[in-house]
Structure 1
């Protein structure tokens, strides 16, 4: 009788051990299973989420399948319970364990927004407003209000933000992006100003920005920037009007319909350099680093004029006669096209 009882106890112990081993295998299979999305997907861990609320959220969103082993996984893998709120991007085939490891690391997905050289603050505002996962704190603010929020004395932000690609995490303020763009601009401007050619007809760093913005709007050809800068510097030194179309366009504002007419060139605005002498009162766009450096270190040339050559670049001239000839050639090139 005792022998039979001992065998029964042994049998029950082995069954229990086998059951435990089987259950443990099911839990491990659950933790190692890949999540469902076949494409990259963003997963949000809300503030205050715990393991159980987060796994329920994953099931509700179809990221993982419901499983009776989910509640036990937290007991065998206590590291799964350590979550950091945020927005995370996961790749197809990512296992549940890898997903929780990512969430535990706090390495949130970095979104990006790109501002191109020569863009205006109006275009920046539109890009920010259309960017997902940003908090739009500036939407109801005027340009002057935003400048004050950034701690700037200027009322216009044209030229005071460096165009490039900026990264941000979900929930970050658009003001934070603008602040970083201003910091980057000041860094590039201070470097260029410290290494500028001596004797330039430019009184301040802000004037340098204004000149750089005109250069930015006049050419996108890297090899031409210093030449274009030399034309404007030569004109400033001679007391000549800059006579650059982008300043006319900027001064026209919303009245610009894609064409500049002779009357537009004669209509006075604070920015119309066919009418005013010297630089306009503010930059007319966001210059990139290359244009800022070109404004600070123009080429040494005898040129006072340039016009598009119809081939993607410009023809530079020393005299008005040469320039008029280049204009006629440009028009001929356009007609032949």
Structure 2
């Protein structure tokens, strides 16, 4: 291969005849050629080192900080603030964020001076792997170690809204407005915007039954529509999880709401669901006390005889056939699952014979049902009901 710094063999002059030694001129020329080769080599090395140096610095700046505990070259220390900190800012730690991703969020918000400093602190702070996603309020320009410790403390800016099973829509509104900054007008407007909250058309614009009971987290910037939409989405997810066909969503929630209000124990949910199916299949009225109580907005024991006999009351399932006009509460997963797959049984009646213990007796025999009812009436008289 041809030498980069010397002429090829074909271009070289003929070798001088052998002699016992070179002249001073030829020695000087040889030394000059050697120096030129060394100078060229040195220049090329400098250029290569310069390219590698710039590229290496760029690479370190762009991706090197993604490695926790990465040590900067030549003994350099990661840039860090000494404190005491400035005005607070809100930062959002996304779901599944790595330490470097968190560091980028904080560096962009000027909470920490550099991602590298955050990574070093993250790598050496106990509990850092357990930092949770969410919105945090942190001072600007604080030491990276302090920023990591504040995230580990998990003091997020959020509001938790817990909706119990069996709450009606009005109670859900009261709960939301009592723990959030949403006004009643905002919540009611959200509930009335079926398209915005993703309410299925089969609900007929009525949200009762579609506000799934569980704990929700409201982040800064969330709206009432965001919260209600999440509730409706969760209800749909539960229906799908239980294997309920879309065409049966509304009826399933209607039945599940009655199970939620009538069953006193988890064991009884499936039996109540089976009673509903058996009575509907037989063409019998449901006769559920909780439906009329919902329609009138008062406890069942306060309903008068004339109200029980009033067929004009749409939620009176003693006097009207089929299901009530809407669900009567927001059922939980257990009640939905009970309706989706009720146990086999011939039960058509049930009576809670002791309201304090929740003891409920089921039967497929009407005369036995009358015995159970008498047992309840005796208990109620003894206990002031």
Distance 2:346 2:182 in 1: 51
2:166 touches 2:331 (CA, 8 Å); kept in 1? yes
Distance 1:140 1:289 in 2: 24
1:177 aligned to 2:212?
A: no
Alignment correspondent of 2:242: 192
Equivalent position to 2:248, from 173, 197, 204: 204
1:110 touches 1:167 (CA, 8 Å); kept in 2? yes
1:326 aligned to 2:369?
A: no
Structure 1 residues 162 and 141: CA distance shift in structure 2, 3 A: closer
1:136 touches 1:173 (CA, 8 Å); kept in 2? no
Distance 1:218 1:156 in 2: 22
Alignment correspondent of 2:163: 115
Residue correspondences, number: 257
Contiguous gaps of at least 5 residues in structure 1? 1-26, 32-50, 56-74, 197-201
Equivalent position to 1:146, from 193, 196, 212: 193
**Secondary structure class of the residue paired with 2:350:** strand
Equivalent position to 1:230, from 251, 254, 274: 274
Distance 2:187 2:348 in 1: 44
Per-residue Cα deviation, 1:155-177 (whole angstroms, up to 9, x for no partner): 11001121111122234222212
Name the larger-Rg structure: 2
1:78 aligned to 2:113?
A: yes
- RMSD, aligned α-carbons: 3.6
**Secondary structure class of the residue paired with 2:377:** helix
1:143 touches 1:157 (CA, 8 Å); kept in 2? no
Q: TM-score, normalised by structure 2?
A: 0.58
Q: TM-score, normalised by structure 1?
A: 0.66
Equivalent position to 2:363, from 317, 332, 337: 317
2:186 touches 2:224 (CA, 8 Å); kept in 1? no
Alignment correspondent of 1:278: 322
Offset of 1:224 from its aligned partner? Answer: 0.7
Equivalent position to 1:52, from 42, 65, 86: 86
**Secondary structure class of the residue paired with 1:209:** helix
Contiguous gaps of at least 5 residues in structure 2? 1-80, 90-109, 119-133
Offset of 1:287 from its aligned partner? Answer: 0.6
Structure 1 residues 184 and 140: CA distance shift in structure 2, 3 A: closer
Distance 1:284 1:89 in 2: 45
Alignment correspondent of 2:290: 246
Distance 1:129 1:111 in 2: 12
Distance 2:334 2:299 in 1: 27
Higher relative CO (Cα under 8 Å, sequence separation at least 6) belongs to 1
Distance 1:143 1:271 in 2: 25
Structure 1 residues 236 and 220: CA distance shift in structure 2, 3 A: same
